[in-house]
């Protein structure tokens, strides 16, 4: 593995690429949480909570193929200041990535109509997301940049959900953005309803 430059930054995490030097071994994204502070015991509890949330979401979306990359959580030494930090290692999904909300509705409909596999994955994702809201009262994080994206690799497109933990009901900052979350999810529902007509 080769430690590469930072490839992303969110509200609470920095993301670095661990690039494989062997074509038979995947590359990984290393996520370092710089917002959660405390001693090792407290951070270990937080890492366990994130792991549990991640596993619950993987199970919830189990019928949507390849939507959530595999991820492992642990407490390590922050490369910035050497203090303990919650980290995770996620299988790196390579390819050209585009946030699903950067598409206009007409543009996204055209992309989905042109790719039957992607359309089925998208509609299944929207159905499970709607059920999560209606049955559990939870909304996924659709605020984070590229959290829900279409990725293209070797002319194949797929939907990817990068950070499935930390839904809106469990984070105060996201809770303040519930209206934006609601509007974005409703937009996906409209597009899903429209694309199944064709």
* Rounded alpha-carbon distances, angstroms, from residue 156 to 27, 56, 68, 151: 19, 28, 17, 8
Q: Are 165 and 181 in contact (CB under 8 A)?
A: no
Using a 10 angstrom Cβ sphere, with 0-12 exposed, 13-18 middle and 19 or more buried, the burial of residue 33 is buried
Distance CA 17, CA 5 (A): 6
Q: What per-residue confidence (pLDDT) applies to 145?
A: 79
Name, in order, each residue with C-beta under 8 angstroms of 167's C-beta and a sequence gap of 6 or more. 53, 57, 132, 138, 139, 140, 141, 174
Mean pLDDT split into 10-residue runs, the chain, 198 residues:
64 82 85 87 93 92 91 89 90 89 94 95 95 86 84 91 66 61 89 88
Angle (CA) 174 179 185, round 5°: 90
Q: What per-residue confidence (pLDDT) applies to 176?
A: 54
Q: What per-residue confidence (pLDDT) applies to 66?
A: 87
Residue 48 phi/psi, 5° resolution?
-65, -40
Q: What per-residue confidence (pLDDT) applies to 62?
A: 93
The model's pTM? 0.84
The sign of the dihedral angle between the CA atoms of 92, 97, 101, 105 is negative
- Assigned CATH topology for domain 2-91: Phosphorylase Kinase; domain 1 (3.30.200)
What ranges do the domains of the chain cover? 2-91, 96-195
């Amino acid at each position: 593995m080769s430690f590469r430059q930072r490839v992303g930054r969110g509200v609470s995490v920095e993301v670095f690429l661990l690039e494989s030097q062997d074509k038979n071994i995947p590359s990984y994204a290393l996520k370092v949480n710089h917002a959660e502070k405390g001693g090792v015991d407290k951070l270990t509890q937080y890492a366990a909570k994130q792991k549990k949330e991640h596993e619950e979401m993987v199970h919830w979306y189990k019928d949507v193929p390849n939507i959530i990359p595999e991820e492992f959580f642990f407490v390590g030494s922050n490369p910035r200041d050497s203090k303990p930090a919650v980290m995770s290692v996620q299988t790196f999904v390579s390819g050209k990535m585009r946030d699903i909300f950067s598409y206009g509705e007409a543009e996204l409909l055209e992309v989905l109509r042109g790719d039957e596999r992607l359309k089925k994955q998208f509609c299944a994702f929207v159905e499970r997301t709607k059920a999560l809201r209606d049955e559990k009262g939870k909304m996924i994080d659709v605020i984070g940049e590229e959290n829900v994206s279409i990725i293209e690799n070797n002319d194949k497109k797929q939907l990817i959900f990068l950070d499935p933990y930390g839904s809106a009901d469990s984070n105060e900052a996201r809770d303040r953005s519930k209206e934006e979350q609601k509007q974005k999810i409703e937009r996906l529902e409209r597009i899903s309803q429209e694309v199944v007509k064709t």
